[in-house]
Amino acid sequence: MKGVYFMLRKISLLLSICFLLHQNIAYGEDNQQSIYEKRMALYKETEQSSGIPWYYLAAMDQYERNIRSVRKDIPKKTDAIISLYFKPEIWAGPVNGNDTLPHTIALFGGLGLDGDKDGFANANNDRDLLHTAATILKKQGTSEERIKIMLWEYYRRAKTVDLITEYAQIYKHYGRINLEGNAFPLPIRSDHSYRSTFGAGRSFGGRRVHEGTDIFAGYGVPVRSTCYGIIETKGWNRLGGWRIGIRDLHNNYHYYAHLGGFSKEIQLGQIVEPGKVIGFVGSTGYGPPGTAGKFPPHLHFGMYKDNGYTEWAFDPYMHLSLWERKERANTKR
């Protein structure tokens, strides 16, 4: 009887843990949705007052949210509604500390402005941050070309301007900012195999390391977009053969190489979403255009992160494994 009693206790405890986990997951999803709604309301409010399209404000905010997550020189701001960041000397002006008074901030050449009309320009106030960003962007006008000029003036980095512009295009296309979710790059039911090969040595084209994961599959197996994003590159690469590069909304570049060909409707600059077929497994590369068959057919999948200064490769294996598990679990429901 004691054994049965303890077994029932264990089952009861496990059920309680599962219930609590489910509640926490549901709460997390509800909380994230609430954050999206608050962000969108602030973007639209600032659009009304400034004339800057909401999707450019959202794109600039998302870019800064992305770099916060990987940079040590920018303070972390967990669960923030708005992630725009101005260094104290930029916000309040040089040698003006953490001043929040608009007139003295202006006197010292700071950019910080009072967006909610409470008499203070607070670098931690969402409306003040968005109002200041919008004022910077509209300095030469509110057309997209003028906004891009001011993005360059502010960031002084062409890649950053490109990223923010791409994010704006994606947000404008979908009309919303809650664009999360991923897909495994090959159909779940396809015959494929892969393991972590990031960092392995390669010799073709000179000594180098492997910057991705090889997913082996048969010729012609569809290759799919793993994310919401925009096609940044498409064409031939001496090492990668026919390849496509997609930029997602988190400063990640998803690289698909050795393709046998592209999906007919896929074009440079096209916006894609998880599961969209972009090409087919092949064995191209390691030579001039058209070279194929120097290795078994497979998809080389790589991921690169931009931090506002530079871009580097990181191991995509854990992401691939997670996306595959999630998609398999969803197909069983």
**185-230 pLDDT, tens digit each:** 999 999 999 998 876 656 455 455 667 899 999 999 999 999 999 9
The string of pLDDT tens digits covering residues 300-318 is 999 999 999 999 999 999 9
Contact 217, 299 (CB under 8 A): yes
Q: Where do runs of H (alpha helix) occur along 121-175?
A: 126-137, 144-155, 158-174
Q: Provide φ and ψ at 327, rounded to 5°.
A: -70, -40
pLDDT averaged over the chain? 90
- Lookup: tokens for 35: 């954050």
Please give the DSSP secondary-structure letter assigned to residue 312. Answer: E
- What percent of the chain has a predicted confidence (pLDDT) above 90? 81
| Whole-number Å distance between alpha carbons of 182 and 228 | 8
- Go through the domains of the chain in sequence order and give each one's CATH number: 38-174 (no CATH), 192-332 (2.70.70.10)
In this prediction, residues 282-298 reach a mean pLDDT of 95
In this prediction, residues 161-174 reach a mean pLDDT of 98
Contact 171, 55 (CB under 8 A): yes
| Whole-number Å distance between alpha carbons of 225 and 249 | 13
C-alpha closest to that of 125 among 105, 95, 100: 100
In this prediction, residues 44-52 reach a mean pLDDT of 98
Residue 281 has pLDDT above 50, yes or no: yes
Residue 277 has pLDDT above 90, yes or no: yes
**Torsion of the alpha carbons at 257, 261, 267 and 268, rounded to the nearest 10:** 30
Which position has the token pair 């969209």? Answer: 276
Residue 13 has pLDDT above 50, yes or no: no
Residue 22 has a pLDDT of 44
Q: How far, rounded to the nearest angstrom, does the alpha carbon of residue 237 sit from its chain's CA centroid?
A: 24
Residue 79 has a pLDDT of 76
Which position has the token pair 């590159």? Answer: 233
Cα distance from N-terminal residue to C-terminal residue, the chain: 37
pTM of the model: 0.87
